[in-house]
Homo-oligomer: A and B are copies of this chain.
Amino acid sequence: MKFEFENPTHLVFGAGTLSQIGEIVRKHGKKALLVTGGGSVKRNGTFERALSSLNAAGVTVIECAGVEPNPRLSSVMRGAQIARDEGCDIVIGMGGGSTMDAAKVMAAAVNYEGDPWEMIIHGQDNWRLPTSALPIITVPTLAATGSEMNGGAVVTNEKTTVKSFVIAKCLYPRVAIVDPELTLSVPPDQTAFGICDLITHVTESYFNGADGTPLQDRFAEGVILTAMEWGPKAVTDGNNLEARAQVQWASVVALNGWVQVGTAGAFPVHIIEHVLSAHHDIAHGAGLSVVNPAWMRFAAQTRPARFARFAQRIFGLSLKHPDDRDAAMEGIDRFEAFLHSIGCPTRLSQLEIGDALLERYAHDTVHIIHDGEGHLPGRPPMSEEDIVEILRSAL
């Protein structure tokens, strides 16, 4: 193990913490660009409560509403322009992962020279990380992406149908205000998609990361077991604040770096799903729920021991030997059954995706990131044919 780690985000977690937003934001800025999504924060009163706290603290608020799921580059550019025009000195992302991601990239785009798309990895040569951003405050209203406490963001270029990501130090939020009460109104399907998303964040590094990271393995298993224990309760009873809190806490930890640290893992399932949602505008977590088990069955062929251990530690299966393929496949079946049980799709047909564009998805995936030999990084690295095979198995 050789790695560096730094996560400077100040996390404020707990029911009712939204009321602190005014005093928190005031420490970092006076005029805030408040970025929101499709309007749920207005319908459920979150927006008004935040505005009231911000105004009471003397923070001027400029609104940037309407960030869509799978947030578009045009929305990022619109928000950055508003921030420039209005002279905002801080950006608040209040909503799901899409809203927070868009807000983060807006904050970096305000002073970014040139086309902001150049900071997003999309196979280009002229890629330039952003080096500065306005202070960012995140207020998640969904337990899923973990964007509230990391330096990553995902944006879709709607002109080229490419969805990809940026990870930069300047994108770490100054403060993440994580109030599980804000997730009480999330419907069961979106709740389930969020649970799938957070679990997939840790399965990516668990299955694709470096060998020799036993502590990180235990942490990943801890996130999965906690999400599987509390997730169904949050899906079944959306008003169960305890379940909402446990799921949201798991979602923060699943991608704030504590689990991935030192694993240097690729995120192949995410990259494949990004291509699907760029083409079909599906919910990210729903797409992951289809792709992840299919990918697991493919990857288990080359690393059965790893998947057998997953089956043992997550589902308590006994192994006949460390390479027990039967146990490995049984573990994947059980994982897929869990996703199904909370209402997640597990076939592409449930997302109304057919086989017409399988080669195109595979091509786009490898175009975003490849290992120099035309393979998508991961364990194992995957050719376009491999990706087609995985997706075909999930039709």
Contact = CB atoms under 8 A, between A and B. Distances in A.
A75 B197 CA distance: 51
Contacts of A226: 214-215, 218
A39 to B, nearest CB: 28
A215 B4 contact: no
Interface stretch (A6-14, A76-84, A184-192, A321-329): A6-14
A11 B4 CA distance: 5
A239 interface: no
Nearest to A12: B4
A220 to B, nearest CB: 9
A9 B6 contact: yes
Nearest to A1: B245
Interface string A1-31: 1111111111111111100000000000000
A19 to B, nearest CB: 12
A315 interface: no
A256 to B, nearest CB: 9
Nearest to A222: B218
A223 interface: yes
Given A5-B11, A10-B6, A218 B225 contact: yes
Interface string A96-136: 00000000000000000000000000000000000000000
A309 to B, nearest CB: 13
A213 to B, nearest CB: 9
A5 B215 CA distance: 21
A250 interface: yes
Given A218-B222, A222-B218, A249 B13 contact: no
A262 interface: yes
Given A2-B14, A3-B14, A258-B258, A215 B9 contact: no
Interface residues of A, number: 37
A230 interface: yes
A229 interface: yes
A212 interface: yes
Nearest to A2: B14
Given A7-B7, A9-B6, A246 B14 contact: no
A223 B223 CA distance: 14
Contacts of A242: 212
A204 interface: no
A134 to B, nearest CB: 19
A136 B335 CA distance: 45
A3 B3 CA distance: 28
Nearest to A218: B222
Contacts of A384: none
Nearest to A8: B8
B4 A10 contact: yes
Nearest to A16: B2
Interface in A203-221: 212, 214-215, 218-219, 221
Contact of A215 (B2, B8, B246): B246
Contact of A2 (B4, B15, B222): B15
A154 interface: no
Interface of A: 1-17, 212, 214-215, 218-219, 221-223, 225-226, 229-230, 242, 245-246, 249-250, 253, 258, 262
6 contacts: A1-B14, A214-B229, A215-B250, A218-B218, A222-B222, A258-B258
